[in-house]
Structure 1
Amino acid sequence: MQIHHLPYADPGEPDVRSGTRFLLWLGRNQLGGQVKSLLWGLLLHLGIAGSPLGVGLAVQAVIDRSGGDLARAGALLAVLGAAIAVGDTMMHRTAVTNWITAAARVQQLLARKSAELGSLLNRRVAAGEVVAVSTGDVEKIGWFVETLSRFAAAATTLVLVCVGLVVHQPALGVVVAAGVPVLALAALPLLPRATRRADVQREKAGRATELASDTVAGLRVLRGIGGEDLFLGRYREASQQVREAAVHSARMWALIAAVQVLLPGLLLVVVVVYGAGLALEGRVTVGELVTVYGAVALAHHPLRNFEEIAMAYSFSRPSAKRAAGVLALTRTTATGPAAAGEPPAGAPQGGETPAGALPAGQLPPGEAPAGDPPGGDLYDPVTGLLAPAGLFTAVVCGDPDAAGRLADRLGGHPPGEPEAHVSVLLGGTPLDELPLGTARTAVLVQDKDPVLLSGTLRELLDVPSSGRVTPGDALAAARCGDVLDALAQASAEPGGDPMDTRITERGRSLSGGQRQRLALARSLVTDPEVLVLDEPTSAVDSHTEARVAAGVRELRTGRTTVVLASSPLLLDLADRVVFVRDGRAVAVGTHRELLAAEERYRAVVTRETEEDTLVDIEECA
């Protein structure tokens, strides 16, 4: 895989059972690149390791006054120099390719998982943690994958050097062969402590990143209450903790680096002292002593790869563990009794069926066979909520958190409770059994706090859609006339097209109501089979709310629309209202019918207190 071939057509299915298994999976998937880097690394290291042999032969040729031997030694050094130049260049090229392609593979996997989980991702993993995994952790993982081949080349070179020295000069070679493994493994006892310190540093850095992300997201509110200095102080304290942890970790790595310098120096001293004695005794020639000395001196270069692989693994293992944790998250599959047609947990027994629900084992009207394209009624077996195809259905929960969880369920993103393993049915087909792209096309959920990405309004509304709803129609239905006027005034050119006016990140230059209506227009443009809106008008005044509700109803005529809200203005326009209490649909009808017949519904919609409800009951009595 070359860099110009990115992105991957398919990044594959990762092994996420542990961080180490994930790293090994990445290495296996880049086996071709690893082999190339290994071969070029061997050429480099063997060229470096062979240089002392050429120097030793040249020195001995001068002592022996042999011009032929000196020429041969010079030719050998020239060949080794060319090997070093080519090997270093190509190893660096292939190693960087391995690094970038591994990081790109992880980023693609994370992006795919984010798209699969949707709004569930930031409910299961902190936003700062996701940012840290997709940036710093990806770099560390790529670093380890890149280091593997260079480490393998260095280790192979050291083995060959030791074997060669033992064969070339056994008296000195045995000393080197005994000392090199000690040098290579000397840092192992220090690694656990260094790893723990690196983990502490990474944990504190993640907290600081999360704090910074939250502060930036809430900067507008912080300025409103004068809280910038307070949060700046908190971030300053967190960043100082990160600095202290980094220094603490660096001290341990400095100690490991010192060991990697000290021990080779001691081995070099031993070789020189012992070799000089052998040379004085005539047991080794001066050229052989120079060769062994040079080999030991240059062994420091491949030994540095042992320190680097240890450092790379120590930093990448927790990063890989976090990445694997994110990649291991899955959408809840359709399992359990309700998926098999049995009544969901908590369903009434003895044939009793709450309003809006269906008897046990009976599928909702309009069900299509399992293999048919998605369409028909939307039915939630857990709550008993039924949204008939082509109608405007309003859902009243009373609890905003429960409404948010229900909206997630209707979109195929159950929040994780045990009963949530039962899939929502669209036309009798479980959403979890549909391909992800098909499910997303069929059902779109807009939560109560939608995000507007930076860009022009034209780019904001340029989303995958059926093509039946134009951006102009969607903006009109969402009553965005004042938003267009504001964008036109903000245009760099007088009388500029508001569609080409740039919207800042998250729409911070707009009011809450304007952002909400633009997000609604974006959802309307997509024109899904089923549109689920969670409190779509909570940030607008009552007059605008009534107009927006009428616009949505008119534009979505003949399409299935589910709105979770408690506003009487919106509920009065719905074809059907379902009242959900304690996780079950307990009443269904029009808004006016439920006001007259269901006291609990009236209390939620009209904001009556319990005392008011008791007074009404007494007056009716």
Structure 2
Amino acid sequence: MQIRDLPYADPGVPDVRSGGRFLLWLGRRQLGGQVRSLLWGLLLNLGIAGLPLGVGLAVQAVVDRDGGRLALAGVVLLGLGAAIAVGDLMVHRTAVTNWITAAARVQQLLSRKTAELGALLTRRVAAGEVVAVSTGDVEKISWFVEALSRFTAAAVTLLLVCAGLVVYEPALGVVVAAGVPALALAALPLLPRATRRADVQREKAGRATELASDTVAGLRVLRGIGGEELFLGRYRAASQEVREAAVRSARMWALIAAVQVLLPGLLLIAVVAYGARLALDGRIGVGELVTVYGAVALTHHPLRNVEEIAMAFAFSRPSAKRAARVLALTRATVPSGDERRTASGDLYDPLTGVLAPAGRFTAVVCGDPDLAGRLADRLGGHPAEPGEDHTSVLLGGVPLDELPLETARTAVLVQDKDPVLLSGTLGELLDVPSSGAVRAEEALAAAQCGDVLDALAQASVDSDGDPMRTRITERGRSLSGGQRQRLALARSLVTDPEVLVLDEPTSAVDSHTEARVAEGVRKLRAGATTVVLASSPLLLDRADRVVLVHEGQALAVGTHRELLATEPRYRAVVTRETDEELTAATGRTTPREAREGETA
């Protein structure tokens, strides 16, 4: 796989049983790149390790006054230099390729999982953790993947050098062969503590990232209540904890690095001292001593790869564990049957009993806003949260969970109560997959976006006053809450899905505009299935039918005016009647009064 071939047509199905298995799976998926990096790494390391042999041949040739052997030594050194140059270039090239392709694979897997789970992802995993996984963790995972082949090349080189020295000069080779493995394994006792400190640092950094993202998302509210200094102080304290954890972690890695410098130095001193005695006794020549000395000195280069792989594993292991945890999340059920299977007709939720007849405008009233949000997700075919009933919503009698994800998402579109507007122009915002039956101008008119278009035209700098070419800032922060809601509604209307589910689409809009929005949506969606979860009388009065959901069950069905006259619980939610007024109207004890009576 080359960088020019990215993105992957299919990133594969990862092994997410653990962080270690996920790293192993990534390595196997890039076996070709790993082998290429290994071979070029061997060329580089063996070229470096061969330099002492060439120098030793040259020194011994000078001592023996042998011109032919000196010329041969020069040729050897020239060839080794060329091998080092080519190997260094290609190792860097293949390492970067492995790093980028591994990062791209992980990012594609995370993007695919995000698209599969939708809004449910941030309910199961904190937003800060999602950000950490998709940014810093991807980098650390790919670092380990690309460092693995270079470490393998270094380990093979060390084995070959030790074996070669034993054959070349047994007396000194045995010392080196015994000392080098000890040097490579010397840092192992320190790794558990270093890994724990790295985990603590990563955990604190994740919490700080989550706090920062929450603060930025709620900055407008914080400024409104004067709480920005309070949250700034919290973030400052969290960042200081991250700094202290990073310093403690760095101290341990500095100790490991010092060990990797100190111990090779001691081995080098021992080899020189022993070799000098052998040379004085005439048991080895000067050239042989120089060769062994140089080989031991240059083992520092491959030993650095041993230190790097230990550090890469320590940092990537918790990152891979977090990535595997996110990638292991699944829908409630796995689609089965014919991939071409489609469904149309009434939308029905067996869990609550809510029915939205095909081609009708249905409003759903819930006294609990959280229940309304969960019901909207269920109607959209999103999986239930852990511990909830996994009964699937039916579309035309077919469970949404049994439909292919793409088919289910195309059939039913859910607009959250807090929709997100991505940065870009208004034209790009409305350029979404759609049936083509609804034009952008019609959707904007139905959502009553005239004042929004005027504001964007006035804010235009280089688009000649064309609101469709005016850029919208990230998450639409330059717009008011009502303007963002109406633009998001227009985007949903443009897609023209078979079933459109709107969760409080006008909660930030004034009553006059809300009435016109309700009428515009009703007319534009005439003949299509529309479900609105709301408690506003202006919206409810324009619905074909209204369903009251009480304590998780559909309690009553009718028009808005019928339910106002016949159902006190409905009237209590819509008109905000007090518990005392509801008790007087029904003659029954309200849930809150019942709880107070039980307490008494």
Q: TM-score range by the shorter chain?
A: over 0.9
Shift of 1:224: 2.1
Alignment of 1:58-69 (within 5 A): 58-69=58-69
Residues 568 and 585 of structure 2 are in contact (CA less than 8 Å); yes or no, is this contact kept in structure 1?
no
Q: What letter corresponds to residue 66 of structure 1 in structure 2? A: D
Residues 444 and 531 of structure 1 are in contact (CA less than 8 Å); yes or no, is this contact kept in structure 2?
yes
* Secondary structure of residue in 2 paired with 1:85: helix
Alignment of 1:179-258 (within 5 A): 179-258=179-258
Q: Distance between the aligned counterparts of 1:419 and 1:291, measured in 2?
A: 71
Q: Distance between the aligned counterparts of 1:228 and 1:237, measured in 2?
A: 14
- Which residue in 1 is equivalent to 2:594? none
- Which residue in 2 is equivalent to 1:398? 367
Residues 1:62 and 1:385: Cα distance change in structure 2 (over 3 Å): same
Deviations 1:144-196 (A, max 9, x none): 00100000000000000010000111111000000011000000000000000
- Which residue in 2 is equivalent to 1:606? 575
Alignment of 1:393-432 (within 5 A): 393-432=362-401
Q: What letter corresponds to residue 265 of structure 1 in structure 2? A: G
Q: Distance between the aligned counterparts of 1:189 and 1:113, measured in 2?
A: 38
- Which residue in 2 is equivalent to 1:314? 314
Shift of 1:433: 1.4
RMSD: 1.6
* Secondary structure of residue in 1 paired with 2:220: helix
Residues 1:207 and 1:372: Cα distance change in structure 2 (over 3 Å): closer
* Secondary structure of residue in 1 paired with 2:166: helix
* Secondary structure of residue in 2 paired with 1:8: coil
Residues 1:618 and 1:241: Cα distance change in structure 2 (over 3 Å): closer
Residues 370 and 429 of structure 1 are in contact (CA less than 8 Å); yes or no, is this contact kept in structure 2?
no
Q: Distance between the aligned counterparts of 2:386 and 2:72, measured in 1?
A: 78
* Secondary structure of residue in 1 paired with 2:547: strand
Residues 1:372 and 1:317: Cα distance change in structure 2 (over 3 Å): closer
Residues 405 and 414 of structure 1 are in contact (CA less than 8 Å); yes or no, is this contact kept in structure 2?
no
Q: What letter corresponds to residue 289 of structure 2 in structure 1? A: L
- The TM-score, its normalising length taken from structure 1, stands at 0.93
Residues 381 and 422 of structure 1 are in contact (CA less than 8 Å); yes or no, is this contact kept in structure 2?
yes
- Which residue in 2 is equivalent to 1:362? none
Q: Distance between the aligned counterparts of 1:287 and 1:415, measured in 2?
A: 75
Q: Distance between the aligned counterparts of 1:417 and 1:38, measured in 2?
A: 44
- Which residue in 1 is equivalent to 2:443? 474
- Which residue in 1 is equivalent to 2:593? none
Q: Distance between the aligned counterparts of 1:386 and 1:97, measured in 2?
A: 53
Q: Distance between the aligned counterparts of 1:284 and 1:615, measured in 2?
A: 110
Alignment of 1:168-567 (within 5 A): 168-333=168-333, 372-492=341-461, 496-567=465-536
Residues 1:303 and 1:95: Cα distance change in structure 2 (over 3 Å): same
Q: What letter corresponds to residue 349 of structure 2 in structure 1? A: D
* Secondary structure of residue in 1 paired with 2:11: coil
Deviations 1:429-483 (A, max 9, x none): 1111111111111000001000111111111111110000000000111111111
Residues 535 and 574 of structure 2 are in contact (CA less than 8 Å); yes or no, is this contact kept in structure 1?
yes
Q: What letter corresponds to residue 91 of structure 2 in structure 1? A: M
Residues 61 and 70 of structure 1 are in contact (CA less than 8 Å); yes or no, is this contact kept in structure 2?
yes
Shift of 1:495: 6.3
Q: Distance between the aligned counterparts of 2:220 and 2:385, measured in 1?
A: 32
- Which residue in 2 is equivalent to 1:93? 93
Gaps of at least 5 residues in structure 2 are 589-600
Alignment pair present for 1:596 and 2:565: yes
Aligned residue-pair number? 587
- Which residue in 2 is equivalent to 1:29? 29
Q: Distance between the aligned counterparts of 1:571 and 1:224, measured in 2?
A: 32
* Secondary structure of residue in 2 paired with 1:573: coil
* Secondary structure of residue in 1 paired with 2:389: helix
Deviations 1:331-358 (A, max 9, x none): 11179xxx9xxxxxxxxxxxxxxxxxxx
Q: Distance between the aligned counterparts of 1:12 and 1:148, measured in 2?
A: 21
Shift of 1:373: 2.1
Shift of 1:223: 2.1
Residues 1:272 and 1:510: Cα distance change in structure 2 (over 3 Å): same
Q: Distance between the aligned counterparts of 1:427 and 1:589, measured in 2?
A: 22
* Secondary structure of residue in 1 paired with 2:531: strand
- The TM-score, its normalising length taken from structure 2, stands at 0.96
Q: Distance between the aligned counterparts of 1:221 and 1:581, measured in 2?
A: 31
* Secondary structure of residue in 2 paired with 1:558: coil
Residues 1:25 and 1:597: Cα distance change in structure 2 (over 3 Å): same
Q: Distance between the aligned counterparts of 1:98 and 1:513, measured in 2?
A: 47
Q: Distance between the aligned counterparts of 1:64 and 1:371, measured in 2?
A: 83
Q: What letter corresponds to residue 206 of structure 1 in structure 2? A: G
Residues 1:476 and 1:273: Cα distance change in structure 2 (over 3 Å): same
Deviations 1:198-236 (A, max 9, x none): 011111111111111111112222222222222222211
Deviations 1:367-418 (A, max 9, x none): xx99752211111111111111100011111100000000001111133154
Q: What letter corresponds to residue 276 of structure 2 in structure 1? A: A
Q: Distance between the aligned counterparts of 2:386 and 2:320, measured in 1?
A: 28
Shift of 1:253: 0.2
Residues 463 and 470 of structure 2 are in contact (CA less than 8 Å); yes or no, is this contact kept in structure 1?
no
Q: Distance between the aligned counterparts of 1:274 and 1:513, measured in 2?
A: 83
Q: What letter corresponds to residue 482 of structure 1 in structure 2? A: D
Q: Which of 89-98 and 237-246 deviates more? A: 237-246
Shift of 1:112: 0.7
Q: Distance between the aligned counterparts of 2:61 and 2:291, measured in 1?
A: 13
Q: Which of 598-607 and 50-59 deviates more? A: 598-607
Residues 1:563 and 1:104: Cα distance change in structure 2 (over 3 Å): same
Residues 1:244 and 1:370: Cα distance change in structure 2 (over 3 Å): closer
- Which residue in 2 is equivalent to 1:366? none
Residues 341 and 403 of structure 2 are in contact (CA less than 8 Å); yes or no, is this contact kept in structure 1?
no
- Which residue in 2 is equivalent to 1:153? 153
* Secondary structure of residue in 2 paired with 1:420: coil
Residues 480 and 514 of structure 1 are in contact (CA less than 8 Å); yes or no, is this contact kept in structure 2?
yes
Q: Distance between the aligned counterparts of 1:420 and 1:538, measured in 2?
A: 29
Shift of 1:606: 1.3
Residues 1:62 and 1:487: Cα distance change in structure 2 (over 3 Å): same
Residues 1:498 and 1:227: Cα distance change in structure 2 (over 3 Å): same
